[in-house]
């Protein structure tokens, strides 16, 4: 029996599809990577009995990156990244072992059985919702993977990698080497990200350059009867000269009556919305639901994989003629929130949705089955509720209302008033926030009628500046100018927030920071096309032509890279123009930070710059030393590195409970071949330094393959042993007076022994004994004194769980080499290992 392998986008999607196709009769087991499940069942395919295996990937399988040395910022000229630097596709998440678990498409073909007669062996199923009908129909009309679409994606990925990395590396190194308070760990540039920031700064500039102007308006009030009056609007709207406004006031304020000049009553309609696409969903999620674009997109994807809505990434706002609109509507017929509206539509007949834009991708976003808030949770429910109400509105009728207006004359000046009365609410019944505003009904009158004037007055007002862009407004601008796709727009907006280029204020308005403003102004000063949307929009059009088979992949890639390479060289040559703007807004390194530790070269104090990226700067030597991020730094007992005489500093993760000393110079200039940049003393292989791995290492980490558990000598009296690779921390020997790593090793597991001096009052040893030497893995006394946690959460690790390796030690002072442990303790698992087995 032949095997048919099917691969879905996500594990939950694979389970749902397999359940539908197998009609629930499937067997499931975890794959070799422990993340993705394999669902097996028998059925028919192409008229043959086959064994189906349904599994999935977990996010992106492969990512594009530079080879070897080209990932080292200090050793490669960024200009080389445009053409000389070779690229390769790597596993996006090596820990998942996804490529080993499943070789996708090109890599799968060599190990697949070739079909007889040269038949195609790879197909693609296209569907837009996780329903029985959609999935079965997709299986009945399988197509080929689109090679042109894949080439378009490859081109976009390579362009963004080469262009983004070149500009980012250059400007990050240049400006972080000069200024200390940029407060951003990366001064990034992106072909889409930068124009996105440009829109925000453009609005900021309009606000800053705005000069308010005073203007005057006339406001009149007439009495319609004893208890009612009408406010009238001036036909001239406003004037900007006070004297002229005063003249008009003088001409009208003495008049006692207002004469009706004309009346009108017109029936009007407020159109139901177009079918919902991704961009509109993101706009509404931000402006009305208070959900950021990326969060909204993630929530929508979860609703899709759970089968509640159709595929949420679509540019289409037009339903195909053969789309079953009544099917999804019937799903909502018994929902307590809108059952009456839905039943009435089904009974009276639905209205065909408005004709929108057909992008040729997926149908508009549609609810596929009913759900409640208790079922989804409050966050997902709010988005689901909007999607459902929007869909019901698209098949409802337009809102109809009567608009009345009356024109008045008071002396020589003309005024008017309007009113609206709803005739039929239509779609606004299900989308009440779109309702026609309730206005007071106007009196019945005709031309020539008069009303008593009760007041005419002049009001002084001022023009006001525009507000900062909302996320919804930014999304609209990005769509209008072709910046990003429906899938990438949320990512670009999130990036400019993460880079500290903008901050999200109340009302989800995006206010640029000083750094964001200076960068955009600098781009405008050097080369406006780097920040204007025009050039990226043109590139997107070319990428779309590749997807349609109308443009050559190599030619588009080569031409675009050549254009940006020339722009890059001009940018580098003209960087002084942006630097002039930076000097005004930011402080030089020498004037930033506070003295902390001594430089090993000049023995003067270096300044600790806490703003991102945190670093030490020696103004005398004009040298900067990068420090570990996302933690706190303090001086480490004024101790010095034996190699370079730099004072050591202590990095601590704060509440996460992990800390280690490091030498600023060694961390930036590794002294040994087996050390990498950024390592601390807990990974240093110096054979005799008292702070090194050689002296403080105990044994191999019980969780990760490459880490070593290292004693934290600063942690007493609540002593800790932490992995120098992963986030495992073991809390041990609380209230011990002193803990040292012995030169001796355990005969059972080769781990280094610990010499512990306990406080007499709390010693766990028999009698008056306070000193004990033993193995943290094997010693029965120590086993009871160890609690293992993950530093990221500080929650104790569970004792159970599949896939956990048994505890083992390794002689200290050696880096892990993959060599198996000598042997396990025979009688008991160690205290550490018990959490992982």
Catalytic machinery residues: 311
Cα 318 to Cα 274, 356, 361, distances in angstroms: 7, 4, 11
**Distance spanning both ends of the chain, measured CA to CA:** 39
Angle (nearest 5°) at CA 800 between 795 and 802: 115
CA distance 681 to 546: 51
Give the sign of the dihedral formed by CA 124, CA 130, CA 131, CA 132: positive
Can you tell me whether residue 373 is helix, strand or coil?
helix
Burial class (CB in 10 A: 0-12, 13-18, 19+), 365: buried
Quick check: 635 and 607 in contact, CB under 8 A?
no
Q: Identify whether the C-beta of residue 810 lies closer than 8 Å to the C-beta of residue 816.
A: yes
What is the distance between the alpha carbons of residues 602 and 606, in angstroms, rounded to a whole number? 10
Q: What is the DSSP string of 580-626?
A: HHHHHHS-BGGGSSEEEEE-TTT-PEEEEE-SSSPEEEETTTTEEEE
> Taking Cα atoms as reference points, which of 416, 445, 389, 396 lies closest to residue 269?
396
Strands 659-662 and 594-598: unpaired
Phi, psi of 17 (to 5 degrees): -65, -45
Chain centroid to CA 604: how far?
42
CB 629 within 8 A of CB 614: yes
CA angle 411, 414, 416 (to 5 degrees): 130
Distances (CA, A) of 216 to 245, 248, 422, 460: 6, 11, 33, 5
Helix (H), strand (E) at residue 756? strand 752-758
| Nearest residue to 548 (alpha-carbon basis) of 149, 60, 238 | 149
Give the separation between CA 72 and CA 85, rounded to whole angstroms.
12
DSSP state, residue 146: -
Which residues, including other chains, have CB under 8 Å from residue 773's CB and lie 6 or more apart? Answer: 742, 744, 753, 754, 755, 756
Asked if residues 621 and 601 have their Cβ atoms less than 8 Å apart, the reply is yes
SS3 content of the chain, % helix, strand, coil (to 5): 35, 25, 40
Distances (CA, A) of 719 to 165, 382, 700, 739, 789: 43, 47, 18, 8, 13
């Amino acid at each position: 029996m032949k095997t048919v392998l099917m691969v879905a986008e996500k594990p939950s999607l694979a389970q749902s599809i397999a359940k539908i196709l197998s009609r629930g009769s499937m067997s499931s087991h975890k794959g070799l990577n422990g993340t993705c499940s394999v669902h097996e069942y028998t059925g028919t395919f192409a008229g043959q009995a086959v064994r189906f295996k349904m599994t999935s990937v977990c996010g992106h399988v492969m990512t594009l990156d530079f080879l070897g040395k080209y990932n080292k910022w200090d050793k490669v000229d960024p200009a080389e990244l445009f053409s000389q630097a070779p690229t390769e596709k790597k596993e996006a998440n090596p820990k998942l072992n996804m490529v080993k678990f499943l070789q996708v498409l090109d890599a799968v073909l060599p190990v697949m059985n070739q079909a007889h007669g040269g038949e195609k062996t790879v197909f693609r199923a296209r569907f837009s919702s996780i329903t029985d009908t959609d999935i079965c129909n997709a299986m009945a009309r399988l197509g080929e993977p689109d090679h042109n679409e894949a080439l378009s994606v490859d081109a976009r990925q390579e362009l963004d990698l080469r262009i983004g990395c070149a500009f980012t590396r250059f400007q990050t190194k240049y400006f972080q080497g000069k200024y200390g308070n940029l407060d951003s760990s990366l001064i990034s540039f992106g072909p889409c990200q930068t124009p996105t920031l440009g829109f925000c700064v453009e609005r900021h500039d309009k606000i800053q350059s705005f000069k308010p102007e005073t203007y005057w308006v006339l406001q009149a009030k007439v009495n319609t009867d004893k208890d009612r009056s009408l406010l009238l609007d001036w036909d001239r709207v406003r004037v900007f000269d006070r004297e002229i406004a005063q003249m008009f006031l003088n001409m009208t304020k003495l008049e006692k009556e207002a004469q009706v000049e004309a009346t009108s009553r017109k029936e009007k309609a407020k159109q139901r919305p177009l079918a919902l696409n991704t961009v509109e969903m993101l706009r509404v999620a931000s402006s009305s639901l208070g959900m950021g674009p990326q969060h909204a997109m993630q929530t929508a994807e979860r609703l899709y994989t759970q089968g509640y809505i159709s595929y949420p990434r679509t540019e289409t706002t037009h339903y195909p003629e053969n789309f079953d609109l009544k099917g999804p509507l019937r799903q909502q017929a018994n929902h307590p929130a809108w059952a009456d509206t839905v039943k009435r539509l089904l009974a009276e007949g639905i209205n065909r949705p408005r004709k929108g834009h057909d992008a040729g991708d997926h149908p508009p976003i549609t609810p596929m089955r009913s759900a409640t808030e208790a079922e989804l949770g409050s966050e997902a429910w709010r988005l689901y509720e909007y999607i459902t109400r929007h869909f019901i509105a698209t098949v409802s009728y337009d809102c109809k209302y009567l608009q009345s207006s009356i024109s008045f004359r008071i002396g020589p000046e003309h005024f008017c008033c309007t009113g609206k009365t709803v005739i039929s609410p239509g779609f606004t019944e299900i989308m009440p926030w779109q309702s026609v505003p309730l206005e007071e009904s106007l009196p019945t009158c005709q031309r020539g009628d008069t009303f008593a004037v009760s007041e005419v007055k002049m009001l002084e007002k001022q023009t006001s500046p525009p507000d900062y862009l909302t996320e919804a407004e930014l999304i609209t601008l990005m769509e209008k100018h072709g910046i990003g796709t429906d899938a990438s727009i949320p990512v670009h907006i999130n990036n400019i927030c993460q880079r500290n280029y903008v901050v999200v204020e109340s009302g989800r308005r995006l206010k640029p920071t000083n750094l964001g403003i200076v960068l955009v102004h600098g781009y405008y000063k050097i080369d406006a096309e780097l920040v204007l949307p025009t050039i990226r929009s043109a590139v997107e059009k070319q990428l779309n032509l590749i997807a349609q088979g109308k443009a050559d992949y190599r030619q588009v890639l080569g031409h675009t890279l050549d254009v940006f390479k020339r722009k890059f060289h001009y940018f580098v040559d003209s960087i002084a123009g942006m630097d002039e703007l930076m000097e005004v807004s930011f402080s030089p390194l020498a004037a930033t930070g506070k003295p902390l530790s001594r430089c090993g070269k000049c023995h003067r104090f270096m300044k600790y710059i806490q703003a991102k990226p945190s670093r030490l700067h020696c103004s005398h030597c004009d040298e900067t030393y990068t420090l570990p991020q996302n933690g706190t730094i303090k001086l480490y007992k004024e101790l010095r590195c034996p190699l370079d005489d730099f004072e050591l500093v202590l990095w601590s993760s704060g509440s996460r409970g992990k800390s280690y000393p490091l030498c600023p110079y060694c961390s930036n200039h590794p002294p040994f071949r087996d050390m990498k940049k950024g390592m601390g003393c807990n990974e240093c292989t110096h054979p005799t330094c008292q702070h090194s791995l050689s002296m403080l290492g105990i044994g191999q980490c019980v969780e990760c393959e490459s880490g070593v558990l290292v004693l934290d000598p600063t942690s007493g009296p609540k002593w800790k042993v932490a992995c120098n690779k992963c986030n495992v921390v073991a809390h041990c020997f609380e209230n011990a007076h002193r803990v040292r790593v012995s030169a001796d090793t355990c005969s059972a597991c080769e781990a280094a022994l610990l010499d512990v001096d306990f406080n007499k009052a709390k010693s766990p040893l028999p009698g008056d004994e306070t000193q004990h030497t033993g193995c943290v893995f094997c010693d029965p006394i120590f086993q009871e004194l160890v609690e293992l946690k993950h530093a990221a959460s500080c929650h104790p690790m569970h004792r159970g769980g599949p896939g956990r390796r048994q505890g083992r030690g390794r002689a200290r002072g050696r880096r892990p080499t993959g060599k198996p442990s000598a042997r396990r303790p025979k009688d008991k698992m160690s205290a550490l290992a018990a959490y992982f087995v």
